[in-house]
Structure formats: structure tokens, C-alpha cells
């Protein structure tokens, strides 16, 4: 278990910091589909991703969701950063995209380390930056791409995150993530299949054009 942290972060953090993380963090495992953070949660810990992937969703009052971005190994959640330092609760939901291992770091340590370790400062700063970039990409794709391109990107992204070109999803799942209707997704998927970019089966989709 301890080597998981080493493996994922030994390039990112100095030795002393890794030791501190191990001493203060708690390991936790989530099964695919489990909710890790719910909207409104008060976050007292910051998760570091050791293995797996997480999807970050926004939700409106009616319960409609929208996928913001995926987190991979070596990433952390930008929400917890701002959330832990301020007094605000979570604005997003985090769901395990696949089976996921993470290590939870208490907030107060987090602040300590910002003063103490330059590698930690750098990590936090860069995390913010890349989350921001990923979010801009999603905004761009919503604003400037038509749905077919947006959907194709979604599929490619998902295949990459899961390291598997066979996606275990229903059309309805995709519709929820992209905040559109199932019928629309079905139609576009059909078109993408005719273009030879994907293969459709019940409950799963094979991405050919990666």
C-alpha cells in the first residue's frame, strides 16, 4: 500500500513530504460508480489520486448534471483546495469513474505544507492551473463544437481515462453527462458508427477512432 504513494508521486514530492503524507493521510478505496464527494459536502480532507479515475460533475437545482472533467493519477481536486481553505462547501460532485485508490490529507496539514514545501506549493498551483484549463476546454467544446464532435471527444476521453476502448456505458449515461437527451445521443452515435468511428453494442461502445 505504501508503495502506491511512492509510485504515483515520487517525482512530484520530496522525500520528507512523502513521509509526512504517509504519516498523516488515510488510504481509501472507492468502487466504480461510488460517489466520493457530494454537492454541499463540507470537505475536511483533500484527496490525492493514487490509482483509478474520477469524474467531476456540476448539477443544477433541477438535478440536471454536466461533466466538467476527469481526474487521473497524480491529480487532485481543485474544489477541495478552494473549499478547504475557505469556508464554502462543495459546488461539485465527484464520482469514481473506475475503481479508485486515494489518500486523504487533512486540511490543516495542507496549509502547513504550503509554507514548508516548495514541491507542495508547486503541486497545488499547477493543479489549479490544469483544472482550469480542462474546464476551459469543456466550455469551448460546449460553445464552439457541434454535438457530434463534442460526443466524439467525450468517448475518446473516456476511453483514455479507462485505458480501454470498450466503454461500459448506456446512451442514457452519456446523455446525463452531457446534459442532453438519450434520443439525441442515440442518433449521433448511430451516425458515428456509420462513419466507422465506433461500434455499438448493448451497454457498451467500442471506440475505434482514438
Residue ranges binding DNA (CB under 7 A): 146-148, 170-172, 180-184, 186-190, 200, 202-203
Q: Which helix (H) or strand (E) holds 65?
A: strand 65-71
Q: Assign 159 to helix, strand or coil.
A: helix
> Do 66 and 57 contact (CB within 8 A), yes or no?
yes
User: Shortest gap between Cβ of 172 and DNA (angstroms)?
Assistant: 5
Q: Assign 77 to helix, strand or coil.
A: coil
User: Shortest gap between Cβ of 150 and DNA (angstroms)?
Assistant: 8
162-193 burial: b if 16+ Cβ within 10 Å, else e: beebebebebeebbbbbebeeeebbebbeebe
Nearest-angstrom CA–CA distance, 151 and 41: 30
User: Shortest gap between Cβ of 97 and DNA (angstroms)?
Assistant: 18
Nearer to DNA, 22 or 148 (CB): 148
In the numeric block, the cell 461510488 is attached to 34
Amino acid at each position: 500500500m505504501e508503495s502506491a504513494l511512492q509510485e504515483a508521486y515520487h517525482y512530484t514530492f520530496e522525500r520528507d513530504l512523502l513521509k509526512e503524507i504517509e504519516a498523516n493521510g488515510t488510504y481509501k478505496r472507492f468502487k466504480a460508480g461510488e460517489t466520493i464527494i457530494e454537492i454541499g459536502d463540507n470537505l475536511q480532507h483533500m484527496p490525492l489520486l493514487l490509482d483509478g479515475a474520477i469524474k467531476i460533475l456540476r448539477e443544477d437545482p433541477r438535478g440536471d448534471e454536466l461533466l466538467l472533467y476527469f481526474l487521473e493519477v497524480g491529480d487532485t481536486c481543485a474544489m477541495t483546495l478552494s473549499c478547504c481553505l475557505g469556508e464554502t462547501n462543495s459546488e461539485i460532485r465527484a464520482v469514481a469513474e473506475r475503481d479508485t485508490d486515494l489518500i486523504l490529507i487533512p486540511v490543516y496539514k495542507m496549509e502547513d505544507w504550503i509554507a514548508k514545501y516548495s514541491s507542495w506549493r508547486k503541486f497545488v498551483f499547477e493543479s489549479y492551473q490544469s483544472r482550469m484549463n480542462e474546464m476551459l476546454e469543456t466550455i469551448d467544446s460546449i460553445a464552439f463544437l457541434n454535438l457530434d464532435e463534442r460526443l466524439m471527444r467525450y468517448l475518446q476521453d473516456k476511453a483514455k481515462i479507462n485505458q480501454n476502448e470498450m466503454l461500459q456505458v448506456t446512451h442514457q449515461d452519456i446523455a446525463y453527462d452531457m446534459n442532453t437527451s438519450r434520443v439525441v445521443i442515440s442518433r449521433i452515435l448511430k451516425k458515428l458508427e456509420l462513419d466507422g468511428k465506433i461500434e455499438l453494442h448493448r451497454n457498451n461502445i467500442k471506440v475505434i477512432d482514438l
